[in-house]
Amino acid sequence: MGTLLALASAVSYGISDFAGGLLSRRVSFAAIALAGQLGGLVLAVAIAGFVPANVAVADLGWGALSGVGTGVGMLFLCRGLGNGSMSVVVPTSAVDGVALPVLIGVAFLGERPSVAAWFGVVLALPALWLVSRSEGGTDGVGDGLIASAGIALQYVALAQAGPGSGIWPVVTGRVAAIVTILPLVLSHRPRLPIRIALPAAATGAAAVLLLPVR
């Protein structure tokens, strides 16, 4: 079941990335990132009241730190996708976004990954080299790497929240992500038509559904 949930999560994020990339080519990448987090916040708050939880202040803090990573990750992911380097940004952010939490867990949290996990991390290095050698060169690699660092922070911090905290760490995470993204949006004040805002919000809401599956 865990494997199926992981695959479902990967598919969900892949679809969200693709949709976000298409939308970021039409309007400001920051506005798309903000709309996604707003959609995620609305859904998370709606669900939180129905999920039994015993949440501590520390859980909310870990959720907020996770949200900072989400905000940074989504900003650079949307920027890279909006610039047309989807074939570089998505695999770079995806591969590093999975490998970095494993390395952080080993270095700082005392975790001991399986042989299969280490094999995946080792494969990530030649995969990144192949991506950077593809058509378009290294365009988008920087955005992908920064996005992956943000995504790694999201996963690592959220994993520190207590198992009984329900979805409340995700709620504080969406708030922190919005606070992280909002200054850039306010400084540029981009237009965001409702026909684009709604799909962007829907992609963020879809991602929230699988965030607690950790």
Residue of 4 and 44 predicted with greater confidence: 44
State the pLDDT at residue 142. Answer: 82
Residue pair 136/89 in contact by the 8 Å Cβ criterion: no
Mean pLDDT of 5-26: 61
Confidence at residue 132, expressed as pLDDT on a 0 to 100 scale? 57
Consecutive H or E run containing 46: helix 29-48
Could you tell me which residue, 111 or 8, shows the higher pLDDT?
A: 111
pTM higher than the cut 0.85:
no
Token pair 């199926």 in the structure block, residue: 4
Most confident of 115-129, 146-160, 170-184, 190-204: 170-184
